[in-house]
Amino acid sequence: MLHRLLYPVRLDADGAPITIRRAQADDIPTMVRLLATDQVASNRFEEAASASGPQASREAAEHPYLVGFTRILLDPGNELVVAENADFEVIAMMQLTLIPGFARRGASVLLLRGFRAGDEHSGLRAMLRWAQSEAAQKLGAGFVEAVVDATGTDARRTLETIGFTGTAVGYRSTVPRPGS
């Protein structure tokens, strides 16, 4: 948990009020729905659903997310936040990770990943702007990096509209499961 960040944070998202707060276990079903509706991640959900079969319970489907949520909650360098609209509906989510640095003269990096929004993209943009400025400053980060899938054109466009530039190239490797 990133203790230097104080919540709730109230922001204006293109004229609509939103509130950023730490995610809670009760938010997991909504966050899973946000992930499932993402243009890139939806394929992973279809693969998981076919692997677990049509009779898989919602609880079983959400279990890996509960495990991930708990690990983030217990890690002092990580935070999972949500944005709520005026009706207290979760409209966006994001994971923040503060990475101590050695390169770049010891500058820490605030890494933003897993950010998703429902229909109200202005809430996500406001949340990203908050992370890019206020949260990064409070955490002492030297710079902010956002991770998006290479095929995530909407995510890249959103980041570019708020001042991020595609100056780095990242690579990912899947870790094989034991016995496979």
- Residue 6's φ and ψ, nearest 5 degrees, are -105, 135
Domain residues for the domain of 125 are 9-161
% of the chain residues with pLDDT over 70 = 87
What are the tens digits of pLDDT across the range 94-153? Answer: 999 999 999 989 999 999 999 999 887 899 999 999 999 999 999 999 999 998 887 777
Torsion sign across C-alpha atoms 53, 30, 158, 172: negative
Q: Which stretch of DSSP H or E encloses residue 128?
A: helix 121-130
Q: Does 167 reside within a domain?
A: no
What total number of domains does the chain contain? 1
Q: Does 59 reside within a domain?
A: yes
CATH number of domain containing 148? 3.40.630.30
Q: Does 2 reside within a domain?
A: no
- Please give the mean pLDDT across all residues of the chain: 88
* E strand intervals along the chain: 9-13, 16-22, 78-84, 90-99, 108-117, 141-146
Which pLDDT belongs to residue 81?
A: 98
* Cα within 13 Å of Cα(79), Cβ side: 22
Q: Tokens standing for 87?
A: 């009706």
Q: Does 174 reside within a domain?
A: no
Q: Does 173 reside within a domain?
A: no
Q: Does 179 reside within a domain?
A: no
Q: Does 132 reside within a domain?
A: yes
